Structure 1
Amino acid sequence: MHAAVVHSFDELPRYDTIDVPVARTPDEVVVDVLAAGLHPRVRSGADGTHYTSEGTLPMVPGVDGVGRTPDGGLVYFVASDDAPGTMAARALVDRRRSITLPVDTDPVAVAAAMNPGMSSWVALRRRVGFQPGGSVLVLGATGNAGQLAVQIARHLGASRVIGAGRDAQHLELVDALGADEVVSLDGDDAGDRLGRAAGDVDVVVDYLWGRPTEQAMKAVLMARTDRSRPLAWVQVGSMAGPEIALPSFLLRAANLSVLGSGQGSVTTAGIVAELPALAALVASGVLTVDALAVPLADVEHAWTRPVRPGQRLVLVP
């Protein structure tokens, strides 16, 4: 069958042929793949930089997808760690890592939105136990995951949602998606503006890390009306850098909890339990999704194709 195949971490995946996977246990089934999202997580896996990478080649990229089962059912699934990826004509699915979708679901929309949407959904539902009435700062709100995070925080009952990012034009879109306030991270006074807007939030969902987080963390903490009020800073992505310098006084001067949300910090069963509710929001159109379908045969071009912030490429076999 045809698939996207990584032969070297220094080269782009290419359209190639591999053997059709075979079910190994009663819990597994081989599905016809209808759509698989080209997420940042997929890119980092394909170039060997993701923290879960074991360096094994060749490999098929793709961490999730929408497929058709032999009995005609429509499923969203998360690939098993020991199975080939999802960017192929057919994929191996562990039924325990999949959910059934309504027959009229748009496979491309679900494939585009579930992975980025899951990042904030799981962070707020499983890592911090977010409660309606709380307030949220989305740091890095202009990207696909950040835009969904703004919508998800609002859906989960946030009383106030602030979106922060660099591009003023794209922040206008974040505003239209339901943010109460948007803050540009450009300019020497960005920290002051962020502190005034988000000083008293309850949760920060951070897709940036690196230098922007160093500046934002200090600004937000020093602007809090009551520094003993708990603040959960959830590290989800590292678009601006993999490390930060964290001054020790920030941990003493405020009630700050820094934690991560990602593969390994939540059990697979815990993640799968959250999928039906999120998929329902996507399928019903409650969440705005900007998806662009590209044929799997064009995977090399798709890998380098520029997209607007918030848009997610989806490969379609």
Structure 2
Amino acid sequence: MKAAIVREAGHAPVYGDFAEPVPSADEVRVTVTAAAISHVVKGRASGKHYSSSGQFPFVVGIDGVGRLDDGRRVYFVVPKAPFGSMAEYAVVSPAHCIALPDDIDDITAAAIANPGMSSWAAYTERAKLKAGETVLINGATGTAGRLAVQIAKHLGARKVIATGRNIDALRSLAAIGADVTIPLVENDAALGESFKQQFAEGVDVVIDYLWGRSAERLLIAAAKFGRDAVPLRFVQIGSSSGADITLPSAVLRSSAIELMGSGIGSISVDGLVHAVGKLLRATTPAGLTVAVKPVPLSDVERAWPEDDSARRTVFTMNAVTS
């Protein structure tokens, strides 16, 4: 079968032939129609993601959309290694397949599932977000962050605060639900003052896609200016600003901050699948939107380095519903 193949660590996928997967008695075969690039997929391809197996070669991709042999249209996740989702066929456990509602097309489903799941699972599985609470999204200008704004409002957040480095993209967030926007400027004093005002007014949940310096400033501001003995659930999802931070121990001793992660390992695969199912069923009724760039899988070598956070690159194969 044709597939996007990673032959060694540090090398981008190439388009080529790979053995077709054969399902066992407790697995199902998916004829894949669409699969999207994500940070996890890129990390695994490079061999640097914490969930990477370290075994090469393999077909890249952890999720996608396709059809079972009985014709059912599904979103699927965690195909059997070394057969990823960016191929003509994948093999998965039936428990890792979700029937797609008729009101969402293949490309949109493939594009929105992973970035939308990142915040949906963080809100519902980790932070246990309640209607009427205030959410701060650190790093809201990328695809996942923009969806996090929309999903927070859909789940009942009273107020959504969004931070970001791209000023133009940050301004556009007001149209999709952001009540307050905070530019991540270099001046620590100015940034600290902006954070101080928001924590003084009350923040219940922080969703962090950046880590690095801005996360340090957020945690310090939360400890200094947050409400006494009122827990702040700080959920760490991504690290595009850096893998490490320096955090004074007094920040945790002097506050009711609950620091947690959200992702593969901190949430079970079943929990993630459950979250994606709810997200996909809500996509059309809630009006959730994502910018998409469809690309034939045969163009993977050209499109892979061009992928960015502004649009989701979705590879298409076989017959696709668009």
Range class of TM-score, shorter chain: over 0.9
Matched, 1:263 2:264: yes
Describe how 1:148-159 pairs up with structure 2 within 5 A. 148-159=147-158
Partner of 1:227: 228
- Cα distance between partner residues in 2 of 1:49 and 1:55: 9
Describe how 1:1-317 pairs up with structure 2 within 5 A. 1-26=1-26, 28-80=27-79, 82-103=81-102, 105-188=104-187, 189-199=190-200, 200-224=202-226, 226-284=227-285, 286-307=287-308, 309-317=309-317
Of residues 189-198 and 126-135 in structure 1, the stretch that sits farther from structure 2 once superposed is: 189-198
Q: 3-state DSSP class of the match of 2:196?
A: helix
Q: How many residues align?
A: 314
Q: Give the deviation of 1:95 after TM superposition.
A: 1.0
TM-score (norm 2): 0.94
Distance 1:81 1:162, change over 3 A: farther
Q: Give the deviation of 1:81 after TM superposition.
A: 5.7
Q: Deviations over 1:63-86 (max 9, x none)?
A: 100001112110001024645110
Q: 3-state DSSP class of the match of 1:275?
A: helix
Q: Are 2:59 and 2:84, in contact at CA under 8 Å, matched by a contact in 1? A: yes
Q: Deviations over 1:190-248 (max 9, x none)?
A: 22112213442000000001122112221233222x23211011001111111111101
- Cα distance between partner residues in 2 of 1:215 and 1:298: 41
Which ranges of structure 1 fall in alignment gaps of 5 or more residues? none
Q: 3-state DSSP class of the match of 1:108?
A: helix
- Cα distance between partner residues in 2 of 1:285 and 1:274: 15
- Cα distance between partner residues in 1 of 2:33 and 2:19: 18
- Cα distance between partner residues in 2 of 1:287 and 1:133: 20
Q: Are 2:11 and 2:45, in contact at CA under 8 Å, matched by a contact in 1? A: no
- Cα distance between partner residues in 2 of 1:283 and 1:202: 27
Q: Give the deviation of 1:105 after TM superposition.
A: 2.7
- Cα distance between partner residues in 1 of 2:153 and 2:95: 29
Q: Are 2:120 and 2:148, in contact at CA under 8 Å, matched by a contact in 1? A: yes
Q: Are 2:120 and 2:279, in contact at CA under 8 Å, matched by a contact in 1? A: yes
- Cα distance between partner residues in 2 of 1:83 and 1:98: 18
Q: 3-state DSSP class of the match of 1:272?
A: helix
Q: Give the deviation of 1:306 after TM superposition.
A: 4.8
Partner of 2:320: none
Distance 1:123 1:294, change over 3 A: same
- Cα distance between partner residues in 2 of 1:206 and 1:90: 34
Q: 3-state DSSP class of the match of 1:16?
A: strand
Q: Are 1:139 and 1:163, in contact at CA under 8 Å, matched by a contact in 2? A: yes
- Name the aligned partner's letter for residue 201 of structure 1: V
- Cα distance between partner residues in 2 of 1:113 and 1:43: 17
Q: Give the deviation of 1:93 after TM superposition.
A: 2.2
- Cα distance between partner residues in 1 of 2:159 and 2:285: 24
Distance 1:197 1:81, change over 3 A: farther
Of residues 269-278 and 123-132 in structure 1, the stretch that sits farther from structure 2 once superposed is: 269-278
Q: 3-state DSSP class of the match of 2:87?
A: coil
Q: 3-state DSSP class of the match of 1:88?
A: coil
TM-score (norm 1): 0.95
Of residues 194-203 and 110-119 in structure 1, the stretch that sits farther from structure 2 once superposed is: 194-203
Q: 3-state DSSP class of the match of 1:190?
A: helix
Aligned CA RMSD, in angstroms, stands at 1.5
- Cα distance between partner residues in 1 of 2:28 and 2:245: 43
- Cα distance between partner residues in 1 of 2:316 and 2:156: 35
- Cα distance between partner residues in 1 of 2:89 and 2:35: 11
Identity of aligned residues (%): 42
